[in-house]
Amino acid sequence: MSRFLNDRLQKIESYTPGEQPQDKKYIKLNTNESPYPPSEGVIKAITEAEIKDLRLYCDPECKKLKNALAECYNTEPKNIFLSNGSDDILNFSFMAYGQSGAAFPDITYGFYSVFAELYGIETEIIPLKEDFTIDIGRFCGQNKLVVIANPNAPTGIELSLDEIEKIVISNPDSIVLIDEAYVDFGGTSCAELTKKYKNLLCVGTFSKSRSMAGARLGFAIASKEIIADLEKIKYSTNPYNINRLTQVAGVKAIEENDYYMDNCKKICDTREYTVKELEALGFEVLPSKANFVFAKRDKISGEKLYLKLKENGVLVRHFTAERIKDFNRITIGSREEMEMFIKTVKEILGEKI
């Protein structure tokens, strides 16, 4: 850090992404990527001609992609905002809507607290209940920016639309942001509710269910007024936020949405397999509606299991926060990867017991 950095930024504890090791080949179950490649059409869409066109700026309005998404989500282009990964929408939302403070759970996506700190926003951290579900009542009547991942991460536990609606209704003077990064793995989207509630901001991403984490494409669905706010920030920071290749790939991905939704189904099946196997090995597994499971087992610490797995070529995600340090978050990969994972866990436990 240089001595020129302003005092506030010096103090920020920035977000730590999951490991992306470049050294050896791991079975990578640590950052919730899809085990499946993008669809054929997406792969073919990145042509030599498109690459040559990289000399030109991209469409700042992303018209084609907005139209495609609007159709897919049964809404209008004016109700859609696009961003360089959904992290950018979270960033913009804390920047735009945090003036009365922000509320989110103690156990959730680690980026929320980073953005709050970045903008000097006072936060109310609301603990999850004993069973790791969200304490709905405590999110009602906050009248500050409410941010909830649904399904939540890293627990995978889902809130019902009724519960979300209750929170939205009880916070009429502030934005309720629902982060739906994992909604396609068995959850229910609140996108339709944005037509009814002008304070609801629904956020999605192509990173998990649409196999495009490396392309960086996020989207928001909300009232046209909220979308106009986000556009205002975009045009005040980076108008060309979605690069040409990502726009082309995104349009194709929506055209071939069935392929991705089929993959999600496969991942849900593999998740059920993984849960059954883990439970048979004595693990406690939280009920997940995401492409990962959060699991712990008596007599082996979360850290020990994480390290042993890594030694054996399997990467999972371990968090050090006190309440969850005994758990690991395990991304659901392909069936073959999960069979290898289970086999490795068995070997580790055999070694231990």
Ligand X SMILES: *Cc1c(COP(=O)(O)O)cnc(C)c1O
Site residues (CB under 6 A) for ligand X? 32, 85-87, 109, 149, 153, 179, 181, 205, 207, 213, 218
Helix, coil or strand: residue 114:
helix
Task: Quickly list DSSP for 281-293.
Answer: TTEEE----SSEE
Length of the chain: 353
Select 182 or 300, whichever has its Cβ closest to ligand X.
182
Quote the least distance from Cβ 282 to ligand X, whole Å: 28
DSSP state of 133: -
Residue 264 or 345: which CB sits closer to ligand X? Answer: 264
Cβ closest to ligand X, residue 32 vs residue 263: 32
Q: How far is CA 313 from CA 50, 251, 307, 329, in A?
A: 37, 36, 10, 16
Least separation in angstroms between residue 1's CB and ligand X is 25
Question: CA-CA-CA-CA torsion for 269, 202, 75, 259, nearest 10 degrees?
Answer: -20
Q: How far is the CB of 97 from ligand X (least distance, A)?
A: 17
Q: Measured from the CB of residue 83, what is the shortest distance to ligand X in angstroms? A: 8
Q: Which is nearer to ligand X, 158 or 277 (CB)?
A: 158
CB closest to ligand X, residue no:
85
- CB closer to ligand X out of 171 and 246: 246
User: Where does 100-170 show beta strands of DSSP type E?
Assistant: 102-105, 123-126, 145-149
Question: What is the chain's percent helix, strand, coil content, to nearest 5?
Answer: 45, 15, 40
Please answer whether residues 171 and 141 qualify as being in contact, where contact means their C-beta atoms are separated by less than 8 angstroms: yes
Work out how close the CB of 3 gets to ligand X at its nearest, in angstroms, rounded to a whole number: 32
